[in-house]
Structure formats: C-alpha cells, structure tokens
Structure 1
Amino acid sequence: MASASQPRRKYHVFLSFRGPDSRDNIISHLYDALDGRGIYTYIDIQELKKGERISDGLMNAIEESRIALIVFSEQYATSSWCLKEVAKIMECRKTNGLLVLPVFFKVDPREVRGGRESYKNAFDAYKNKCKSGKAVGFDLKDVEKWEKALFHAGGLSGWVYNKGVIVESKTGTLIQLESGEDEWVF
C-alpha cells in the first residue's frame, strides 16, 4: 500500500508524443520494445478507456507513472494536448519525483527549449488565438506555463534521434536504436 508521501505508481513509463509525425515510426517501435520486455507503458491508443474524459485519463496516467518519456518532434508543440502533458509531467517531476527522459526526434533540443522554428510558430499561433479571443480550452497563462515547461524539459539530458535505424538483437534480449549521435539499449 502506498503511503501519503509515495504516490501510487500504476505504469512504469508514460509515453508522451505527437501522433501524426511519430506514432507510426519511433513510437510504435519504442512501445513494442518496452512492452515486449514487460515494461508497462502508458500509450493513449492502448490505455484510454472509452467514455473517459481524455484530460482526466492523461493527467492521472502521468501521476501514476514512474518515468515519463517525452518524444519531442517537429509538430509536438502544435498540439495543446501535448503541451498540457509536458506541463503536468514537469509538475510531477518537481512534486512526485517523476523521472523525465526527453527524446529529440528529428528536432534540435535548442528548438524545444528556445522556441525556435516550428515551436516558435506554434506558440505565436497560440498567443494570437488568446489575443483575438479564439482560444478554446486555454488562455495566455496556460501558454506561458507550456513555454516554461518546454524550456525546462528541453534542458534535460536526453537523446537526439535524427537519422537512426532500429535494430532488434538476434537473441531477442535487447533493442538498439542507433542514430548517428547515440545508441539506446532496451
């Protein structure tokens, strides 16, 4: 039984990502690798229950995870859901000791933490929606909170994965994700 100081941990890993530009690529392989090794991983398509409020399900899953693996991609910041997730992840890092591991998938860490290129464009659009009264489900305070969360998450040590391939070991005991910069072993 978890004590008041120890949050209940249902998941080993919470996987945060922007679906359209990573789900059928790095995410599907990463999820299969983790799942195949008995690592209970929260992924929205597998774990969200029908009829459950999406925001409640996602936020609870983050709180109930030991590790958050954030896969930043070019379009990550275009999703307010992803930004709400990263803000909650960074909050839980501070309050619950959640281990946060960033992966920079075809995006430079400086873009994530510094609001450059696609991230800057996404935030400019959010701010314009707030100023014009067209924002739905968020306000300027939320946008500022998201920017702060991205700055801190993008400043964490993680992996840059730009041109890699996925290699399954012949023994089936590990997976190597090889990029020009790094090698990950699961």
Structure 2
Amino acid sequence: MRKNNKVGTSMTNNIKELSQEQHEDLLNTLKTRFEENMSRHNNLEWAKVQEKLDVNPEKIWSIHEMEKTFGEPDVVGYDESKGEYIFYDCSAESPKGRRSVCYDRAGLESRKKYKPENNAIDMATEMGIELLNEEQYRALQQLGNFDMKTSSWVQTPSDIRDLGGALFCDRRYGHVFVYHNGASSYYSVRGFRGSLRV
C-alpha cells in the first residue's frame, strides 16, 4: 500500500519541487546541522553546498523527504572528480519514519500474511535516494555512533538476494556488525539509511 503525500509540493514537468517556504525552512535546518557537526565535513563551506542545492530542486525535494522521515541528512563528503556533495542520513538511530519495512518488493510480496505497508528499496526509489551499502555504512560509523539501539537495511549483493537473503547493520559493543535476514522480514527497530549526491 503506497502512501501518496504531496501536501506542500508541486509537480512541474514531472520534477518534484518544494514550496518557497519549505525550501527556506529546510535550508535553515540543513545549515544549522552543518554548522553544528563540522567534524563530518571538515574543509567544506555551507555557502557552496547551498549554491548546489538552490539549482537542484529535485535533489532538495529528496533531502526534504529524508528530513520528514527523520533521517537528519547532512553532508559527509565531497567528490572532487564529479563536483558533488554527498549527503547521508545522520540520525542517531535508524530513521523512525522508515521502519517496519521489508527489504524489497519481492520480499514484501512473498509474505503470506502480516505484510508491512512498504519496503526499503521502493521507499528509497520514491524518495530519490539510495540505500547505503556496507562500505558507506562503515564510513558513516567513523563519524559517530549510529544505530546503537536500532538497525538499518543496507544494499545487498545479488548472489545473497537471489537466495532470499538481505543484509542489515548496526553498532553494538563498540563495533559495527553486518547480519543477514530473509528479505521478507521486518521489525519495528529496523529501517534504512540513504545517500544522495548533489
């Protein structure tokens, strides 16, 4: 079951955009978070990040989706070769607006009963973001302690997924762990973290 929430957004030539008020509120939130967490993005300047966001309305719409599902997106790097800023969900725990979901559509459809409303892959696609992979998840954990009480689905290699499994990660006992579950499983403490390049 898909939730269709377009309040406060407009569609112009299939490009999703925020209202001016939403745009300004989001930029203020992102700027404050950026300035309060400089250790995540040493040597980067907010003014240059904002320049990129201002000319990419579809990307800022995606960041708004990350924000409204409690992901607390923030800049974690800059790809000089492509001229892109990299955003990750940096909420302390797996974003609470994206929990209780199966890994993907096939996992969801394979359930005979007690199906959740959605799945991580479809949600990420609708938001215009990608699930973190294991390498990205470990890189995020170098910036702080995340998922101390929750866990997050991560991109799963095709050979594992083809056999019905999916991967998730968390942080316990001072270490980052990678586990497996059936792709159809879901838990109230498991969501997913996303990445976006702008």
For this structure pair, what is the TM-score category when the shorter chain's length is used for normalisation? under 0.3
Question: Relative contact order (alpha carbons < 8 A, sep ≥ 6): 1 or 2 greater?
Answer: 2
Higher strand share: 2
TM-score of the pair, normalised by structure 1: 0.27
Higher helix share: 1
